Amino acid sequence: MATNSSPQSISLFSLLLLVLLAVFSSGLLATGGHAYSFSIKEATVKEIQQAFKQNRLTSRQLVEFYLGEIHRLNRVLRGVIEVNPEAINQADKADQERKAKAATSKLDLHGIPILLKDNIATKDKMNTTAGSFALLGSVVARDAFVVTKLIQAGAIILGKASMSEWAHFRSFDAPNGWCARSGQGKNPYALSADPCGSSSGSAISVAANMAAVSLGTETDGSILCPSGSNSVVGIKPTVGLTSRDGVIPVSPRQDTVGPICRTVADAVYVLDAIVGFDDNDEATREASKYIPLGGYKQFLKLDGLRGKRLGIVRKLVSSFATSSEVTRSFENHIQTLRQQGAVLVDNLKIDNLDVFLNTITSGETLAVLAAEFKLALNTYLKELVASPVRSLADVITFNKKFSKEMVKEYGQSVFETAQATGGIDNDVKTALQSLTKLSRDGFEKLISEKKLDALVTPGFDISHVLAIGGFPGISVPAGYDSNGEPFGIYFGGLNGTEPKLIEIAYSFEQATKIRKPPLFIASKICSKHDRLLLQALLHLGEGLE
């Protein structure tokens, strides 16, 4: 902890004063010391839009506030890789449009800043690198399709969120949330806790109020897991519901782009803005049939749990979800779901679940993903206008050349496994058929036979099951353990069931209202004095190294 004075030299009175100043400054003051009549911290999109209409807030003030929070908190949290130098100009444009009474009343995201995971391309002054120095300075041909949709909705592109480098597909030895460009992302609730990945920065940033809303991507767990671990909401859409054009890929069969926000409603506003057919992503042709007329906002219903059939698969939990706090909370949540009108089908079993889970980091799953990754990444790199690397082989060579400075000790074993593949050969096709059968005879069969609207689980291992078939899922804050570390509750369903999942998630969220702002706990063993000191230093910009 690097401060201007030692903890021992700060009196309790001075410490209390620092904390009081921090609390005051964090809610009503933005950068430059300007006082606003609106508290930006923890504000929802709906509240921000209301403040815009009442002339209590401008988009410029909002952007300045978030840039100030990034400046103060990011050297500790490492949730943001870079900010958009055009963000203030975009905010001024939004304010001018609002003042001119341009047709913005139906655009929920007009004037709202959003962070993008660093694998989502922007044709601007920012980089798109997947957290790697290998792509620093590369030039994309155009904005990613989802970015174009956000701009059309009036959103302000605030910057790029950090991530597990290469979507955690370079090496499984690297910790969640680490990338060469920004270092180790930290969980704002407990800095020593796992922020999860690979959309860690997107979750960290909105949890810590460094942005209003964000976008993440998921191949297998990369939206759902960091959302649960950072006490925010994540929506993993049906594959193809959102275009992957302009997104650095892992698997076109499994990749999807989705929102990570502080509330279900905010996530739905973002989802409404980014869904749609894209000529450059064939998967959107089939999935676009799932998009409801009138969008997804109509499914934000307080009574959304009423009559829903929810299956509970207790074996489908991560090791984290076996803690006593999580177990007790989940049992309480089961009662809440029942009280809100859901029909619960308990103690269900997914056939061949153990067989499937054992293939996640080896065997059939890895064989398929490795082959898909090599082909998809090579295509992406070749289509760049300019780039230091043009193939996976180039990236591997780059990492070897700069391993000491940029790659650390984590290696690139997954890259090397992928490079050794020879395309979608017979072995890969056989493995893919096996995975498809596991999904069809397991998750899909269970949903169909029990006539379920969704499965519910306290463990993010459900993401592995959802990944195979490109199925959607939502994570909602569910509680905090004795160390202050958050955990989520997860709802998953079949393709196109986002309306049901949104009804379920929103109804649960409104019935429980569990989320609270982070406390920035230094570690599990820190004294109360040190924890308060850390809060004050973080809020006042002293920071830690």
Q: What CA–CA distances, in Å, run from 545 to 178, 402, 414?
A: 16, 24, 30
- For residue 319, give both structure tokens: 């090791």
Q: Under 8 Å CB-to-CB from 311, ≥6 apart: which residues? A: 345, 348, 446, 447, 450, 452, 454, 455, 456
Residue pair 238/495 in contact (Cβ under 8 Å)? The answer is yes
Catalytic residue among 26, 59, 117, 182: 117
Unique residue bearing structure tokens 């989502």? 120
Radius of gyration, CA atoms only, the chain: 22
Phi, psi (rounded to 5 degrees) for 111:
80, 5
Distance CA 472, CA 241 (A): 10
Describe the strand order of the beta sheet including 309-312 as a list of residue ranges: 80-83, 156-161, 113-117, 213-218, 256-261, 233-236, 473-480, 486-492, 454-457, 309-312, 343-345
Is 198 one of the annotated active-site residues of the chain? yes
Distance CA 496, CA 324 (A): 34
Residue pair 470/253 in contact (Cβ under 8 Å)? The answer is yes
Catalytic residue among 26, 138, 182, 198: 198
Residue pair 463/218 in contact (Cβ under 8 Å)? The answer is yes
Is 117 one of the annotated active-site residues of the chain? yes
Catalytic residue among 171, 222, 227, 507: 222
Is 362 one of the annotated active-site residues of the chain? no
- For residue 55, give both structure tokens: 């002339």
- Which are the catalytic amino acids? 117, 198, 222
